[in-house]
């Protein structure tokens, strides 16, 4: 067990750091295009948190029963077939981590530019990615310590911002009562598509499952890190968005739909902070949010290579990417992920990539949660951790995600089809490598 370096606090910090990042500081601007009722906005974040919690308790059971690095790659390979696991791993390598790293870096650059307009946001994001990748490539222990410190700072600063916002009060006079929530608003394509932004903001609740093989006492700490981390983030998200809508005019936080800034992320954190603390206070808070996004980038740079390394190690043509240093650190996978993130950062549209990520990852989290039911059917009830509320929890999670995917496929067809194409490319790569392995063995 000596190789296990990640304790419970580090595992929780990974979950929190993966979740709290780009989505919560950019999603509101896009959601306001469809919804102007404050409680409808909060309902989105409550619903997204509820879905994340349902997924978290299910993942926690499967991860506890199959405690090995790889996340969905490992789970789906064991529960279904190695080809499906490889597809999930390929999507995680190309979409699940590299693209969110790029989006977090883009958001960091946007906020940095908002604080100091003379800065080039893209170059700032590039520098941060390279610096953090270098830290984690050199030494995992140093990277984990870095992660703990930055995540603690992140939670404390968000807590301070929430407290200041609540003390500042509801200066916009918005209604926060349940009676202001319209059922007709919920059952719309706009609500479902906005849940993609929210789901993206909550993505990362399964982060510690990707490093299950390196967590101390995974039979206890793995499920705790997933569930505790998810509940903490849900509380922070709902309160943070309540502060946003109570402190600043919605029209100022809404993303533009025309001109050069069309559908680009809006610095809702800076806008809200300016109304709470004043102009200079807003700039300071913008700098603070940049620090928070550093933690998000760091967490994904830790987790992503733990999918890439075991998966590509089974493909002869990609074996180079599975190489580790003398301490077992997946340096080649870190470099590959970093390069891919930089390419996305410099070439991709923020909104399209977020929708692309949201749809694609939802498919595989749904399959993984369904795997909890299948694994129980084959092997019986687990002796250790059991998913809370089983079988209602996995059924609700699966049904909710199918509903979201249906509306996204019809409303954001191009992004959804590109996501499916990425997954199919992973299957093609799997069967090509399998055929070559068979040919070689013959």
Q: Cα 227 to the chain's mean position, in Å? A: 15
SS3 state at 41: helix
Structure confidence by residue, pLDDT tens digits, 200-251: 778 777 776 666 667 787 777 777 888 888 888 888 898 999 899 888 888 8
Distance CA 93, CA 297 (A): 15
pTM: 0.76
Distance CA 219, CA 103 (A): 33
Structure confidence by residue, pLDDT tens digits, 47-82: 888 888 898 888 888 888 887 766 787 889 899 998
Query: What are the residue boundaries of the structural domains of the chain, listed by start?
Result: 8-434
Distance CA 143, CA 428 (A): 34
Cα–Cα distance list, 253 to 104, 137, 285 (Å): 19, 38, 16
Structure confidence by residue, pLDDT tens digits, 108-126: 888 888 888 888 888 999 9
Phi-psi domain of 211 (left: phi exceeds 0; alpha: psi -120 through 50; beta: other): alpha
Tell which CATH classification among 3.90.550.10, 1.20.1740.10, 2.40.160.40, 1.10.287.370 matches the domain 8-434. Answer: 1.20.1740.10
pLDDT bracket for residue 2 (50, 70, 90): very low
């Amino acid at each position: 067990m000596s190789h296990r370096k990640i304790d419970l606090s580090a595992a929780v910090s990974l979950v929190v750091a993966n979740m709290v990042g780009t989505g919560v500081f950019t999603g509101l601007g896009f959601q306001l295009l469809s919804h102007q009722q404050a409680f409808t906005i909060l309902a989105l974040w409550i619903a997204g948190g509820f879905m994340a919690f349902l997924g978290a308790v299910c993942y926690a059971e499967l991860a506890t029963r199959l405690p090995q690095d790889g996340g969905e790659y490992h789970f789906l390979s064991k529960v279904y077939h190695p080809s499906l696991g490889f597809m999930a791993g390929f999507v995680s390598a190309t979409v699940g981590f590299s693209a969110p790293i790029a989006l977090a870096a883009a958001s960091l650059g946007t906020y940095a530019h908002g604080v100091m307009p003379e800065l080039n946001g893209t170059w700032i994001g590039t520098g941060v990615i390279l610096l953090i990748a270098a830290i984690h490539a050199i030494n995992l222990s140093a990277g984990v310590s870095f992660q703990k410190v930055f995540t603690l700072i992140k939670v404390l600063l968000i807590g301070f911002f929430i407290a200041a916002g609540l003390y500042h009060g509801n200066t916009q006079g918005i209604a926060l009562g349940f009676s202001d929530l319209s059922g007709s608003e919920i059952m719309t394509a706009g609500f479902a598509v906005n849940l993609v932004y929210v789901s993206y903001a909550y993505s990362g609740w399964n982060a510690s499952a990707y490093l299950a093989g390196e967590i101390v006492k995974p039979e206890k700490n793995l499920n705790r890190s997933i569930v505790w981390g998810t509940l903490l983030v849900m509380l922070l998200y709902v309160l943070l968005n309540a502060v946003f809508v109570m402190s600043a005019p919605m029209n100022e936080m809404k993303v533009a739909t025309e001109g050069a800034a069309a559908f680009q992320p809006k610095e809702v954190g800076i806008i809200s902070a300016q109304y709470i603390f004043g102009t200079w206070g807003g700039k300071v808070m913008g700098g603070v949010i940049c620090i928070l996004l550093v933690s998000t980038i760091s967490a994904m740079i830790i987790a992503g290579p733990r999918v890439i390394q075991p998966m590509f190690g089974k493909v002869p043509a990609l074996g180079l990417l599975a190489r580790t240093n003398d301490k077992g650190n997946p340096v080649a996978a870190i470099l590959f992920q970093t390069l891919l993130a930089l390419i996305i950062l410099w070439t991709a549209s923020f909104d399209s990539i977020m929708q692309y990520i949201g749809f694609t990852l939802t498919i595989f989290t749904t399959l993984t949660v369904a795997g909890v039911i299948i694994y129980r059917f084959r092997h019986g009830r687990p002796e250790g951790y059991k998913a809370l509320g089983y079988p209602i929890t996995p059924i609700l999670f699966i049904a909710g995600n199918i509903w979201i995917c249906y509306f996204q496929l019809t409303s954001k067809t191009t992004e959804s089809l590109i996501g499916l194409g990425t997954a199919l490319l992973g299957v093609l790569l799997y069967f090509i490598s399998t055929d070559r392995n068979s040919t070689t063995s013959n």
